[in-house]
Every structure is written in C-alpha cells, then in structure tokens.
Amino acid sequence: MTIEFSWLLENLPKNISIVVAKHWDPENGDSQGVFCIPNTNILLVHPPMSSMGHGCFHAKLMILIYDEWIRVVISSANLISHDWEISENIVFIQDFSRYNENNIINNDLHLFAKELKDYLLAMGLKSHIIDKLPQYDYSKAKAIIIPSIPGAYKGIDDVKKYGHGRLSQIVKNICEYEDVELECQSSSLGSITPEFLNEFYRSAKGLDPYIIPKQRKSKRDKEQFEENESPGPSQPSQPSQSPQALQQTQPLPPITIVFPTNKTVLNSKYTFAGAGPLCFSKKCYEQITFPKEILRKCESNRNGILMHTKFLLARFIRPSPDQLEEKRLLEQEQNRQIKINKRKIIKNKYDSDESATDSDVADVDIQETITEENILDLSQDTVTDDVHDVQRDNNIVGWYYCGSHNFTESAWGKLNVSRDTKEIQLKIYNWELGIFLPITKLRDDDDKENNIGEQRDWFRDHGVPVSYKRPPNPYEESDIPWVSLLIKSFIIKSNLYINSIFYGL
C-alpha cells in the first residue's frame, strides 16, 4: 500500500498510537521489519516480500480502536489524497462492540478475527493490535475475509488458505453451484490466458482449482505438435502450432473483464492525471493468448470519474428444464457406470494383489503443467470446513467480492507444479485483502427476470454497491484499453507530479 504521510497525519488525531504497514523497496535503502519513527507516534511495518522476484504489499486494511468498539475497514484505496478525493474506490466497514464485564471473552477467536490475526502475524506484528482482537465480539461479522500472502503453497490445505484457492473453499462450503456468470472489474491487468481464466473459473464455482480438464487432442494433433516441436533442418515449425496458439484454442469460460478504454480516460474529468492507478502494459494486451473479446467498458456512474475499485460479481445461471433433465440423465448414467466399476473392483480383488484397475481412473485430461501424478486423492477432503459462520443456503443466487485484489495472477495466484517436490502449488506474489459476501434471492426475483423489456442491474437490485455502469458494454472495434505506455509518454512531455500519479501500482 502506498501512503502519503503528510495527508494522513492531517486527518488523524495527534495523541494516538499509529501502526502503519506499507510497501518497501531495498533499492531505496528500506528493509523488512518493524520500526519506530523517531520523534513520532508512528510504528512502521515493512512486511516480508516475495522471494520469487517481484510482488508488492497491496492490501488496504484499517483497524481503528475506540473506547467501546473496534472498526475494521477493508478497501481498495491507498492512504493517499488521490484515492480518497479524486478516484473512486470501494470500502467495507463494520464495527464490533467490546465484551462487557459480564461477558466471558472467548479465547477461540471467531473466523473473521482469526483471519485478521493470522494476517497481522504474517506481516510481522507480535502484539499491539493483535492482543486487543479477542476483546471484541465478532459474532455478527457479515463478510468472509479472502487474504493473499506471497509464497508458493503446496498441498490441498495450503492451496485453499489464500488467493483464489481460498475463494474456492468459501464458495464450496456455502454456495457451490455448477454454472456461474463472472464479471471481473479491475484497475490493473497483467497477462491473462485461457488457462488462468479456466483455473479461476473453477474456484469461482467452488470446485477444486487444481483439477483442470482440457479437451483431448487427437492422435493426429499430438503427432503434428510433436513434429512441429522437433523440425528437421529443412522443415521450419508452423507458427499456428506454437504452444501459445494451442493454448488460445482452449474454450473460454463465461467471464468478462471490466477495464476502461483509452476514450474513457481521455474524456474523464482529470484525463491523464487521474489515470495513474490504472495499470496495463501494451505488451500484455498484444500477447496472442490475451482474450480481447471478453473486455468490457468500465464507466463510473459518476460521469467523468475514473475507478480504482476491484470487484468480482458472480451470478448463478439458472438451468432450463431441458438442461436439468439432461443433467439428471447424465448423473443417472454416471451412477450406473460407478456401480459397474465397483463390481469390477470386487471381482478383480480376488484375482490380483492390486486394489484398483484402470477402470477406477477418472477419464480426465490434465493441463500440461499439472500431470496425473500430481493429483491428490479427492475422495477424502482433508480441508477443514473453517467457514463455520455461514451455513449453506439454497436462497443464495450469487456472490460478490471487493477489496484490493486486481484480476491478476500476482494477486490471486497461479497453479503450477513444484520442480522440487512435484506437488501442485499455488504461487502468489502480492499481499492482498478483500471480502466475500453471498447474494440472497429476493421475493420478486422471478418477476424481475421475466420483465425482459426493462434493462435492470441485477446486482444493484440485490444490494451490491456496484459503482460502474451495468451491464458494461463490449469494446467497440476502434476501442483499445488504457495502457501504461500512454501515460508514461504523457508524463515525460508534461513533467507531471509523479508521486500523485503512480499510487497503488
């Protein structure tokens, strides 16, 4: 998180203790640790950074302690004037009352407080705020926290602690659904591939993200690919058969990405000066694997204002009667095959010392980076059901996320296989923090869906504080996204005040 200390101290009382955590850079002489700033009431925290080459402390968390309550603020805004006065951000706030003398303080922390405690400990804090957390009642916590902490997490338990692995576990526990329409609004983008989209989509549905099916290649396709990978001296490889081209043929899940166009920025109130937090490189956009067709315009409901918010909006797709019948028949056939396979296992049990046959192996192809040897035994889910505060509810019709996570691999994590242990691992580079909230069905939902003549914002109807125009319009043929290259050239020409431009990168 970026901090403008002069602005921050102007807005805080002079007689309170302040603990500030922020991003740091060793090239500027900074180092990891907790430091007292001389002649001030400020304790400065430099959290551990990723050891994998890049990443940043990007979480935006405030814990404000009052006499009788504690206030938790999780937002998309840095502690700078630009984010609170010029650009648009999203803020989650909830107050929790202090236990009175007649209450027994529960040493078994509520999940909400436990997530905060674990996050603060990971940052390097030892006491301070941490010791005060058990003094408050979190039983009415409305949201579930989704953290990201830099690292390479191996195994089911660790994969599902952070990033989109954590999202997967939450959705699975309270509102797992087969089909979801997912809308991702982000103020920064990076390399987006069909592989990452499919991986993330599985988590958004509450499915295990580390089992990613792909379409089988025919024998002819495989031979052609191998032939192009090892061409003879007079036989150049075909560009259309490159790994990037093959990856691009993966079907895209129903995901759209909401990001401002060049026109939106140029026509905004502050034009280039307000576009500092918007980061997207031209190189990433022009990659052959980037799915340009899923981009949607990001336009604030407050005309002329640019947005630094980060949203995930998930709406469950209601299947038609025909689809339900097709699903029923498919499940019926699958159950029949399971019974047949069980009979084969019992029969073969007495004919072989092996406890399983080829018929027991699921006919699932796994992407190249995740081989069948890496797949864990999913018949026994070892993940603890720690989302104990929200019960599964059939009235849940969707969910949403808001916080600091941009829609990037660095923020949410990307699955691959560890070279050392050959285990599946989730690699995360950034510190991030956000909240998850389920969306419940309204009494008149059916009437609203049947009212085709009126274009409504389904999410706003369900109480989601979406601040951009919905549904977002697709990019026109002449549209391009706002890319960082444009603002860099403008800064060089106009010598803008750079510290007010590049907040929140």
Q: Which residues are annotated as a binding site for substrate?
A: 60, 310
Distance CA 430, CA 279 (A): 15
DSSP string, 342-360: HHHHHHHHTT-S-S--GGG
Binding residues: 60, 310
Distance CA 152, CA 339 (A): 39
Contacts of 478 (CB under 8 A, 6+ apart): none
Four-CA torsion 458, 482, 24, 121, nearest 10 degrees:
20
User: Please, which residues bridge with residue 355 across strands?
Assistant: none
Question: Tokens in use for 222?
Answer: 């495989």
Q: Are strands 144-148 and 151-154 parallel, antiparallel or unpaired?
A: unpaired
Contacts of 4 (CB under 8 A, 6+ apart): 78, 79, 80, 81, 82, 499, 503
Helix (H), strand (E) at residue 466: none
Distance CA 378, CA 198 (A): 19
Cα-to-chain-centroid distance, residue 395: 24
The one-character DSSP state at 300 is: B
What residues are labeled active site?
58, 308
Distance CA 370, CA 378 (A): 15
Comparing CA positions, the residue from 262, 40, 20 lying closest to residue 123 is 20
Are 87 and 321 in contact by the 8 Å Cβ rule? The answer is no
Distance CA 438, CA 167 (A): 12
Please give the single-letter amino acid code of residue 181: E
Can you tell me which residue has the tokens 């469950």? 316
275-295 burial: b if 16+ Cβ within 10 Å, else e: bbbbbbeeebbeeebbbeebb
What is the arrangement of strands in the sheet containing 61-65, beginning at the earlier edge strand?
61-65, 69-75, 91-97
Tell whether the torsion through CA atoms of 38, 43, 44 and 48 is positive or negative.
Answer: positive
Region of 447 on the Ramachandran plot (φ > 0 left; ψ -120 to 50 alpha; else beta): alpha
Are 396 and 174 in contact by the 8 Å Cβ rule? The answer is yes
Are 34 and 125 in contact by the 8 Å Cβ rule? The answer is yes
CB atoms under 10 Å from CB of 300, counted, come to 19
